[in-house]
Amino acid sequence: MTNETTRTYDVIVIGAGPVGENVAERARAAGLSTVIIERDLIGGECSFWACDPSKALLRPVVARADASRIPGLDPAVAGPLDVDAVLAHRDKMSSYWKDEDQVDWLNSVDVDLIRGHGRLTGPKQVAVQTSDGDTIALTARHAVAISTGTRAALPPIPGLDTVRPWTSREATTATKAPDRLAVVGGGVVAVEMATAWQALGSQVTMLVLENRILERMEPFAGELVADELREAGVDIRFNTTVSSLTRKDNNVGGDGEVEITLSDGGQLAVDEILLATGRAPQTHDVGLESVGLTPGDWLTVDDTFQVTGVDGGWLYAVGDVNRRALLTHQGKYQARIAGTVIGARARANNEPIDTAPWGPHTATADHTAVPQVVFTTPEIASVGLTSHEAEHSGRRIKTVDYDLSQLAGAHQYGEDYRGRARMLIDTDRNTVVGVTFAGPGVGELVHSATIAIAGEVPLDRLWHAVPAFPTLGEVWLRLLETHRG
C-alpha cells in the first residue's frame, strides 16, 4: 500500500551532489527551512564516480612520471604500478561508495534529507517517490532548485545496446584493468582515462572523431598530451568514428570481446569500450513538463540562476544542468550565489534582488574566468579565453608564449621538462583575458591566472607581483618580459 504525506519547506533542492549540498547549506544559513532530495548517493557524481576516484587513479601515474625525471630516482620508479594498491586507494578516496559522512554533514547544517526520486508537479510543488513506494508531497514557500547534474551522452551506434559499454562511471570504478581498452572521444574524460588505464596495464586505443585531442583548449596542450600518451603506448587514431559494435557474448554478464567496425571499414577487437562522448542533462524525468518546460532540455538561467521562461521567479537550476560550465568547482560557485540569492529574495519578499538594501548577487565567473585542470601527463591548466575564442571575441588580442623549460623552477622537475605557457592580453584594456599552461606541476599555477583575469589586474600592477625563485610561478615574470620585448 502506498502512503502519502505532505510537508512544506521554504526551499526544496532536487539533487544532493556537491552543488545541491551547497545550495541547501546557503539557504539554511539564511534561516530558511530546507530539504534536499536524492535517489542515489549523497555527494553525487563528483564524490563517487568522477573527481575523487578519477584523480585517485591518476595521481600515481603523474607522480611516477614526475619522479622518473629526477636524477637518482628513475630506477626506483621504472617498474609497473601496483594495480591492487592503486585501486584500493581509489576505493578509499571514494569512501567505498558509502555516504554516511555526507549524511552526517547534512545533519550538521540542519538540512533535511529525503531519499527518493523527486519530480516537479507544478509551481513550487514536488513529489518524491521513495524506495519504499511511498509518496511525499512537498511544497516550497520560496524556491525549488534543480541540481541533478548530467549523465553520459551515448551516440546512436548500431549494436550499442548489446555491448554494455563503459561510461565515465565504469571507467572510474572498474575492479581490474582490461587487457585491451578502446576509448571513444578526445576530451578530458577520454584523455584522463586513457592515461590512467594505460598505466594500470591496459593496451589503450583512442578513437578520436576530430583531428586532435582536447579540441576546446589551445592546440599545443593537446599536442603535448598526445605525445606523452603515444610514448606511454597508447594508439591514437584521429578522424575516426565507430560504425557498429558487437560483443561476441551477448548474454547478460558475459565477457566476450567487443568487435568494433570503424568508419574506414577496419576492425578492432577489445575487451572493453569506453564512450567518452559528452554529457546530457539529467532533466528527462524531473517533471519539467508540469511548469511548461521540455523534459531532457538544458535549463537556461539568468546570472542569479533563476530559470528563464518560468513565471514567479521560484525555480532555479544550478550546476551542470544549466550548461554554463560543466565543472564541479564552478557548480559550487553557482550554488553559493544561488543559495545567497534565494535567502536574500526571501527576506525581501521576492522583490527583485537588485533593489534589496544588501545589494546584487550575480555570477560573473562563468563568463570570464573558468579554471580547469586536466590531470594527464603533462598536466594542462587553463582559465579564460583560448586563442580561437579570442579571435572571435571582437577584442584586440596579443598572444604571448613562453617555453616553460627555460625556467629554473622547471629544472627541479628534471632535465627533460617539456611545457609551454600562453597568455592572451586585451591590448585596449591592458589586462589578461586568457592563460593556458601545459607541463608537469602547472595545475597549481591556475589560481594565480584566475585571480589576474577575474580581478582584471592591469599588467602594470602584475609587474609588482614578484614570483618566488626557483618556482614555476616565475613564468609570470617571463611572460610579462616577453610581452614588453
Count of C-beta atoms within a 10 Å radius of residue 398: 11
Q: What is the mean pLDDT of residues 283-312?
A: 96
* 3-state class (DSSP) for residue 12: strand
Q: What percent of the chain has pLDDT over 90?
A: 85
C-alpha cell at 136: 511525499
Which domains are present in the chain? 4-48+95-151+280-366 (3.50.50.60), 160-277 (3.50.50.60), 378-484 (3.30.390.30)
Report cis status (omega within 30 of 0) of the bond before 165. Answer: no
Q: What is the mean pLDDT of residues 77-96?
A: 93
Listed range (191-200, 247-256, 283-292, 396-405) with the worst mean pLDDT: 247-256
Question: Are residues 479 and 400 in contact, defined by beta-carbon separation less than 8 angstroms?
Answer: yes
Q: Answer yes or no: is pLDDT of 1 > 60.
A: no
pLDDT for res 360: 57
Between 483 and 2, residue with greater pLDDT: 483
Q: Answer yes or no: is pLDDT of 121 > 60.
A: yes
Q: Please provide the average confidence, as pLDDT, over all residues in the chain.
A: 93
Question: Are residues 207 and 262 in contact, defined by beta-carbon separation less than 8 angstroms?
Answer: yes
* 3-state class (DSSP) for residue 166: strand
Report cis status (omega within 30 of 0) of the bond before 440. Answer: no
Of 413, 399, 476, give the one whose Cα is nearest residue 445.
476
Which pLDDT band, with edges at 50, 70 and 90, does 457 fall under? very high
Listed range (194-203, 326-335, 355-364) with the worst mean pLDDT: 355-364
- Kindly write down the DSSP assignment for every residue of 251-303, as one continuous string: STT--PPEEEEETTS-EEEESEEEE---EEES-TTS-GGGGT--TTPPPPB-T
Between 91 and 264, residue with greater pLDDT: 91
pLDDT digits (tens, 9 = 90+) for 331-364: 999 999 999 999 988 887 755 545 444 445 788 8
pLDDT for res 352: 52
pLDDT for res 3: 60
Which pLDDT band, with edges at 50, 70 and 90, does 77 fall under? confident
Q: Answer yes or no: is pLDDT of 230 > 80.
A: yes
* 3-state class (DSSP) for residue 199: helix
pLDDT for res 292: 96
Amino acid at position 324, single letter: R
**Claim: this prediction has a pTM higher than 0.75:** yes
